[in-house]
Amino acid sequence: MSTRISPIFPVSDLDAALAYYRGLGFGTRAWHGGGYGFVAYDGSEIHLGGEPDLGSRPDRRATAYLFVEDADALYRTWHAAGGDVRPPEDTEWGQHEGVLIDPDGNVIRFGSPMSKG
């Protein structure tokens, strides 16, 4: 049995959100029926649900965690692309983690194992 999970990020403007993630290097596509989209990065997928009144609902933000091989390299890529991204830092739980915040306030935490040494 195979299981996948894809978080759903609420977005105020689906087309703008798809363009933002595309600019960061994600594969993107809109659902043919409108109001919903998909962004994929290295085998991981996040769904985007259009919520035009999102600006008045700060409680409607979402978070996802992306496990990567090199958090520093991903930080540099997203930073160079203009993403609102925080550089990775070592954590007490052994991950080297950074944070990307999209224009709607959704968060992708990303991390790789800390270097031994």
pLDDT tens-digit series, residues 97-110: 999 999 999 999 99
Domains parsed from the chain with CATH numbers = 8-53+61-113 (3.10.180.10)
String of DSSP letters for 64-117:
EEEE-S-HHHHHHHHHHTT-EEEEEEE-TTSEEEEEEE-TTS-EEEEEEEPPP-
pLDDT confidence of residue 51 = 83
| pTM as predicted | 0.88
Model confidence over 24-77: pLDDT tens digits? 999 999 999 888 999 999 889 999 998 877 766 667 789 999 999 999 999 999
78-104: per-residue pLDDT in tens? Answer: 999 999 999 999 999 999 999 999 999
β-strands 84-90, 63-67: how paired?
unpaired
Total number of residues shown for the chain: 117
| pLDDT tops 60 at residue 117 | no
